[in-house]
Structure 1
Amino acid sequence: MIDHQFGGAWTEQKLEALKHYLTAYRLIFTQNEKARFFKTIYIDAFAGTGERKTADVSDEASLFDPEELPELDAYKKGSARIALELSSPFDEYIFIDKKKEHAAQLESTIESDYPQLTSRCKVMQGDGTKLLAEICRNRDWKKSRAVVFLDPYGMNIEWALLKQIADAKAIDLWLLFPMGMGANRLLKRDSTPPQSFSEKLTRMFGTPEWHSAFYKPSTQGDFFSDEISLIKDASFDQIGEFLIGRLKSIFSGVAPTTKALFNSRNNPMYLLCFAAGNQIGAPTAVKIANHLLGK
């Protein structure tokens, strides 16, 4: 089920859902005797400066209407502060940003505003997708549990990374999937996408099955050609359902409810989704996240 939200207020809704989930998550790991064994980690792979506004625009900017770019800029960020301001903090925080100046500003913010947490925080400068993949591969997940927040610009996230997150069997994932800002832009209306777009969609969904899911034969055939033309047959709800189905194929649990986030012109930008990697913890995690997504 997709819960549709309109207007710029979705930034607050996104961050409120994250805040309430992190609060509940830490409560579980402090009150449950068995859960106390684990080290809890919060990871933000696109952390920005920790403030609500940055000047980072992705390489996918050419896909967007120029009028949308200021809105994209204004929606970042706030998630780092929310995680740092929890009454029950995580044992470890990992913040990643591609830009050196952003990482430096976030580091400075932590030192000045959250000095009691500096020993728990690590700010990394570099490609968020690559560094997060390394963390997923190299961490001893038998002793750790994590919440990963992926709030990228454009289509930085590919299926290979989501698979690595799921394979850790220890990570809860909050994902802002680029619905209107990415996937839908690549799905041409009157024909299948060109090769470059098709390859990008396959890397995003981890399968070429999107082709048969989102396109159907045209009822208006060409009298002079034997070729069957295909046209787009995919609503935003259908794209979201396809994504949820794909996530269910690799994660132990996926919240059935998602939140479609619209910009001030009522155009869908992102789809907020939740998936849990640990089989034991997934039912509880999904129940909490699903409730928050449906609010």
Structure 2
Amino acid sequence: MIVGAASRILEIENPRAFDLYYFVEKESNNISLLKQNTIDVFPNKNIHIVETDCNEKIQSMSTFLTSQKGKKYKTLAYIDPCGMQLNWSSLVTLEKLSVDAWILIPTGMGVNRLLKKDGKISDAWLSKLEIFLGMNQEDIRKHFYNEQVIPTLFGDEIKITKEQQAIEKSAELYSERLKKLFKFVSKPYILKNSSNSVMFHFLMVSNNQSAVKVANEIVTKYNKAS
């Protein structure tokens, strides 16, 4: 049995537990299981389970935190969608707020898979990359592809090649873009599959330097252990 993130968070008691918990789950089939592992096991904790898209909850949380009442709260967010469901526009709403956020970025199993080697990406996939990265199609192509003009007997041909280190480059790009929203961004923890292929990069963003200092210590420890 693998203990899920929700249970691990609820088990934290030292140095102190959190005052309030919000767990967001979009799939109706998973809601009952989530309730069993949280509310039923920890009946004395202030737990709320919301059946909605993570982007909607992030944006509503941002609205609350900018209100007079919300400014009294300090928030830790753990954002780990299974794919590329997190929209860049949602992260923009967290800018300058008192939020420390751990973000799971599907660099290998998400971004890289949509970046076709020949550069022939469908409109649907390009749209998904635009929403996820918060960039337009032209900038995405410039960042991940190289164009070479090759003279031939029949005129010039344009050869398009994908960056060899596309996964690492997507992680660096995402991190650099996060630095425009938050004062501090941690080093990424790199998650690989059984074949040693990079699947995710996991990092923390914050406007609090001390928070990211602690995050970097954690990341360094587990990167060395992996």
**Normalising to structure 1: TM-score of the pair?**
0.67
Alpha carbon RMSD of aligned pairs, Å? 2.0
Letter in structure 2 aligned against 1:270: F
Q: 1:83 aligns with which of 9, 24, 34?
A: 9
Distance 2:153 2:110 in 1: 34
Q: Relative to 1, partners in 2 of residues 1:154 and 1:224: Cα closer, same or farther, differing over 3 Å?
A: farther
Distance 2:148 2:47 in 1: 55
For the pair 1:106 / 2:34, whether they are aligned, the reply is yes
Give the Å deviation of 1:234: 4.6
8 Å CA contact 1:192–1:215 kept in 2: the answer is no
Letter in structure 1 aligned against 2:28: K
Distance 1:179 1:240 in 2: 6
8 Å CA contact 2:7–2:37 kept in 1: the answer is no
Q: Relative to 1, partners in 2 of residues 1:162 and 1:225: Cα closer, same or farther, differing over 3 Å?
A: farther
For the pair 1:95 / 2:26, whether they are aligned, the reply is no
Q: Relative to 1, partners in 2 of residues 1:262 and 1:225: Cα closer, same or farther, differing over 3 Å?
A: farther
Q: Relative to 1, partners in 2 of residues 1:111 and 1:198: Cα closer, same or farther, differing over 3 Å?
A: closer
Aligned to 2:102: 174
Aligned residues: 213
Question: Could you give the per-residue CA deviations for residues 188-224 of structure 1, whole angstroms, max 9, x where no partner exists?
Answer: 1122523222221121111132321211113656653
Please show how residues 226-245 of structure 1 align to structure 2 within 5 Å: 226=156, 228-235=158-165, 236-245=167-176
For the pair 1:137 / 2:67, whether they are aligned, the reply is no
Give the Å deviation of 1:116: 2.1
SS of 1:294's equivalent?
Answer: helix
Q: Relative to 1, partners in 2 of residues 1:221 and 1:97: Cα closer, same or farther, differing over 3 Å?
A: farther
Q: 1:264 aligns with which of 194, 202, 205?
A: 194
Letter in structure 2 aligned against 1:81: S
Give the Å deviation of 1:253: 1.0
Give the Å deviation of 1:186: 0.9
* Runs of at least 5 residues in structure 2 that lack an aligned partner in the other structure: 222-226
Q: Relative to 1, partners in 2 of residues 1:173 and 1:221: Cα closer, same or farther, differing over 3 Å?
A: farther
**Normalising to structure 2: TM-score of the pair?**
0.85
Q: 1:149 aligns with which of 78, 81, 93?
A: 78
SS of 1:189's equivalent?
Answer: coil
Give the Å deviation of 1:270: 0.9
Aligned to 2:224: none
For the pair 1:205 / 2:136, whether they are aligned, the reply is no
Distance 1:244 1:223 in 2: 44
Q: Percent identity?
A: 29
Q: Which structure ranks higher in relative contact order (CA pairs < 8 Å, sequence separation ≥ 6)? A: 1
SS of 2:21's equivalent?
Answer: strand
